[in-house]
Amino acid sequence: MNFRYLDQDEVDEVVRAATSANLLGSDNRNALLSFVDQNLVANLNVIGNPQLQLRSDLVELNRIERLADGSVPLQLWLSTASSLAAGRVEEAVFAKYQEKVTAYAAGLPPLPDPASLREVVNNEAIVHQDDMLDFTFLGQGMAAGASVAKLLVPRFDGGAQTFDAAGRPMLYYGTGWLAARDLVVTNHHVINARSAGEPVSSEQDLVAQATGTTVKFDFDSPDAAGTDIGVQQLEAWDSLNGLDFAILRLQGPMNDRMPLRVWPHRLAYARGDYRPVNIIQHPEGNAKRVACRNNLVTATDATTVRYFTDTLAGSSGSPVFDDAWNVVALHRGSRSVQGVNFQGRTTAAVNFGTQVTAILDHLRDQHPALLAEIEPAPN
């Protein structure tokens, strides 16, 4: 069966939205394809009619599950279209299908209905509170960022590594962070290396994917080479339908940087609380970025934190920090929403993370020796 992210009706809706948003023509085509691999772009059919060209590009990108570097061309096209249509009604169409493609490509597990977590933040009351921070916040954030890494995960099927048509290893990417000198935490669905709807990888393949993972620290700018280290073994995990975490043992300790401190108390919020969370991440597999604006928590329960902090595909597995740079959650994904307000404006998406205390409780029950290696934050 031929692969497709979007069905015909969904492609038609995207074409109508792009037409309505005035994204036709060669200049807009170049812009829409600017983040897509240019070798692929060079091989797309060229058609004289602008609307037919748009449809042809979408149809071709829709057939490509991912490239060898882990990028998803259709997701990049939709992300750019969403940016070009910012502030217009068509932006919501592109954002909706970008989320669908991103979730499918990342093998993102089903996330809770945002409405199932009761919104307890009084969004109108927070605007005028003092949000200044101590100057040391910046330096502490730099130190924390040194312990965040990009993950490149190879796919295995039936014990054999998967390659693309050109013979290159098929890679999935995400983000991870040091919880001890030689322990990295990320999402199970990152190490699972499957698209949504596929069967979960076998334990044999999961272990092979984990031990084949490259952990790249110091990829702090597009021209940075980074510091690569391999994985010795997969120490612990809980499935993508559970807490969605995995812990990897590195091939050696990273003695030149400090493990991140995990906050040992469950987050719980009452009305009127003003609790921002900050995320250091590798969005779309790109160089490290930090999200620390428009970043309030909006709801919590025993295992989940819901927040507005910006993320993209590739951010899965990132540490979610409080303002003291303690890890309070493990980022896992986002969902589109309707009718949610943020500081007096509606928002199209909210993000979800796993409460780090839920992970610690799991380790306490199943892997107490592993838990003893992880550094808690001071109370």
Q: Check whether 63 has a pLDDT greater than 80.
A: yes
Residue 254 near residue 217 (C-beta atoms within 8 A): yes
Give the residue, 174 or 342, on which the prediction is more confident.
174
What does the pLDDT look like over 123-176, one tens digit per residue?
Answer: 443 344 556 677 888 888 899 999 999 999 999 999 999 998 888 899 999 999
Task: Work out the mean pLDDT of the chain and round it to a whole number.
Answer: 85
SS3 label, residue 198: coil
- Residue for token pair 């507005």: 308
What does the pLDDT look like over 215-247, one tens digit per residue?
Answer: 999 999 999 999 999 999 999 999 867 899 999
Q: Check whether 268 has a pLDDT greater than 80.
A: no
pLDDT average, residue stretch 26-34: 92
Compute the Cα dihedral for 322, 327, 329, 334 and give only its sign.
Answer: positive
- Using pLDDT thresholds of 50, 70 and 90, give the confidence band for residue 304: confident
What is the spatial distance between Cα 254 and Cα 226, in angstroms, rounded to a whole number? 13
Per-residue model confidence (pLDDT) at position 114: 60
Q: Which residues contact 358 (CB under 8 A, 6 or more apart)?
A: 243, 266, 302, 303
CA dihedral 237→240→243→247, nearest 10 degrees, is 30
Question: DSSP code of 116?
Answer: G
Task: Return the amino acid letter for 318.
Answer: S
Per-residue model confidence (pLDDT) at position 121: 43
Q: How many CB atoms are located within 10 Å of the residue 285 CB?
A: 22
Beta strands in the chain (DSSP E): 148-154, 156-157, 160-161, 171-180, 183-186, 214-217, 227-238, 245-250, 278-281, 289-291, 297-300, 304-307, 319-321, 327-342, 345-355
Per-residue model confidence (pLDDT) at position 80: 92
- The overall longest dimension of the chain from CA atoms, in Å, is 65
Identify which of 358, 325, 174, 330 has the alpha carbon closest to the alpha carbon of residue 258: 325
What is the spatial distance between Cα 189 and Cα 187, in angstroms, rounded to a whole number? 5
Per-residue model confidence (pLDDT) at position 59: 93
* Both tokens assigned to 12: 């038609």
The CA R_g of the chain, rounded to the nearest whole Å, is 21
